[in-house]
Amino acid sequence: MSQAQTTAVFSSISDVERDTGVPKETLRVWERRYNFPQPQRDANGERLYPLDQVARLRVVKRLLDMGYRPGKIMHLDTEELSSMASKSGTGTIAADADDPVLRQCLVMIKAHQMHELRQKMAQALLQLGLRRFVLELVAPLTTLVGDTWATGGLAIFEEHLFAELLQSVMRNAIFAANQQTGQIDAAPRILLTTVPQERHGLGLLMAEALFALEGAHCVSLGVQTPLADIVEAARVQRADIVALSFSSVMSPRAAVDNVVELQNRLGESVQVWAGGSCAALARRQLGPNRVLDLHDIDAAVARWRTQNSALSA
């Protein structure tokens, strides 16, 4: 088998770890204990995972994050796992696959009609305004795209096409919002990023848009910033808050560990807020005022201003 054929059909164990969030060691344990996954081997004896197994592993990871035990779900096929996942809430904004607008957008993504999708989203932004655009279209569509990708309904490159388009649309919308409401000395000053294990950044853009609408001063570092660099950036930027996004690829335990460690390094003068589907699962450990849904952002900013005005009075 040629290298081109191999990469087109199989994923290496490092690719699977990156794309599913399941550590290599765990994949090997599951292989021995549950006879799944069942990778093939290349000429050097390295594991190669068929794409259907990778898709199944994505759904397994989602269910584990929801609290299911491996022994209860490893024998199920992808369709059964997906059905379980769709019936289990994760605290994220729900994506109604029967919504005609969301369904039309998903059809455009599958048909690679990105120009048409961009036009549709631009029109929706004008009609809804930025807040409703984020909450009623962008967030549920992102969830639907992620769920469809996780169950094999979208190729990785199609998910990437959507992500790139949405980043462009959101950055333009954020710039316009800052032009209207942002001021260089606005408060709170919010630093947005993800930890090194988290490479998904769409949640950051949605949060930044809603923070901008509240008149906060936002500084985005993008994704995968080492904790030491987050601390230094927070100092240089005089941040009041560090906002982190955690997607479903991260485990709740890892989210908790990163938030706690970062808060310890920053001290009490800078708050750490977390959002995303993974952070929602860690709400009990981190506390409701630290874990925010997108709908919570306006109230959280207002609460911070009230608390800090009282302290400075």
Output the pLDDT for position 93.
Answer: 47
* Predicted confidence (pLDDT) per residue in 27-60, tens digit: 999 999 999 999 999 999 999 999 889 888 988 8
Query: Is 312 a residue whose pLDDT tops 80?
Result: no
Answer with the one of 179, 207, 230 that is the final residue of a domain: 179
Give the strand pairing for 10-12 and 217-220: unpaired
Q: pLDDT-derived band of residue 248, with 50, 70 and 90 as boundaries?
A: confident
Same domain, 208 and 305: yes
Q: Do 102 and 96 touch, CB atoms closer than 8 A?
A: yes
Tell me the CA end-to-end span of the chain in Å, nearest whole number: 72
The Cα 211–Cα 190 span in angstroms is 8
191 closest CA partner among 262, 251, 130, 261: 262
Decide if pLDDT at 6 tops 60: no
Average pLDDT over residues 183-203: 87
Q: Which residue from 180, 220, 203, 222 is spatially nearest to 294, judged by alpha carbons?
A: 203
The answer to whether residues 226 and 253 belong to one domain is: yes
The three-class DSSP label of residue 42 is: coil
Asked if residue 196 is part of any domain, the answer here is yes
CATH code at 274? Answer: 3.40.50.280
251 Rama sector, left if φ>0, alpha if ψ -120 to 50, beta otherwise: beta
Residue 187's domain comprises 183-312
Which parts of 113-183 are beta strand (E)? none
126: in domain: yes
Nearest to 304 by CA among 272, 282, 266, 276: 272
Say if residue 23 is preceded by a cis peptide, omega within 30 of 0: no
- 93 domain residue, yes or no: no
pTM above 0.95, yes or no: no
| 284 shares a domain with 188 | yes
Q: Is-contact 74 64, C-beta < 8 A?
A: no
- 48 & 132 share domain: no
CATH number, domain containing residue 148? 1.10.1240
Give, as one character, the DSSP assignment of residue 279: H
The token pair that represents 210 in the structure block: 């809603």
Give a yes or no: residue 95 inside a domain: no
- Same domain, yes or no: 200 and 273: yes
121 vs 143: CA distance, rounded Å: 16
Tell me which of 150, 179, 208 is where a domain ends: 179
Task: Name the domain count of the chain.
Answer: 3
The verdict on residue 91 lying in a domain is: no
List pLDDT tens digits, range 115-150: 999 999 999 999 999 999 999 999 999 988 887 877
Cα–chain center distance at 69: 23
Asked if residue 133 and residue 72 are part of one domain, the reply reads no
Residues 188 and 252 in one domain: yes
Q: Give the Cβ contact number of residue 306 at 10 Å.
A: 10
Of the residues 86, 119, 151, the one at which a domain ends:
86
Phi/psi at 134 (nearest 5 deg)? -70, -50
pLDDT given at position 311: 64
Tens of pLDDT along 196-244? 988 889 999 999 999 999 999 999 999 999 999 999 999 999 999 999 9
Domain membership of residue 94 (yes or no) is no
Q: CA 105, CA 113: separation in Å to the nearest integer?
A: 9
92 assigned to some structural domain: no
d(CA 53, CA 119): 36
What are the residues whose beta carbons fall under 8 Å from the beta carbon of 65, sequence distance 6 or more?
90, 248, 251, 252, 278, 281
Q: Is residue 225 part of a domain?
A: yes
Same domain, 192 and 304: yes
